[in-house]
Amino acid sequence: MAQALETDTPTEQARDHMLRLMIAEQNDAFRRALGFAALWRGQHLKGRTVATPGFLAIPERTQAALMNAVISFTDWT
């Protein structure tokens, strides 16, 4: 996580912290939806899911297993 600059006021530090939390929540909502209609706090998130040629080259069953692992991942540090 980014460190606060010594010149940041407590208000700026709090704002930056809240912004990081909001972005993390939105990223998590989008990841769980993985390209479908992602909702965050009742709002539709705009975004795009892409796949590399390498991912598309692996068997569809493996793709599905990997996508399921991404969608259901919860072991964040």
Would you say the pTM of this structure is higher than 0.85?
no
Closest CA to 42 of 29, 24, 32, 31: 29
Considering Cα of 17, then 38, then 62, then 60, what sign does the dihedral take? negative
Beta partners for 56? none
Q: How far apart are CA 36 and CA 48, in angstroms?
A: 9
Residue 71 belongs to what H/E stretch?
Answer: helix 60-72
Q: Which position has the higher pLDDT, 3 or 8? A: 8
Q: How far apart are CA 14 and CA 12, in angstroms?
A: 5
Q: How confident is the model over 44-72, as pLDDT tens digits?
A: 888 788 899 999 999 999 999 999 999 89
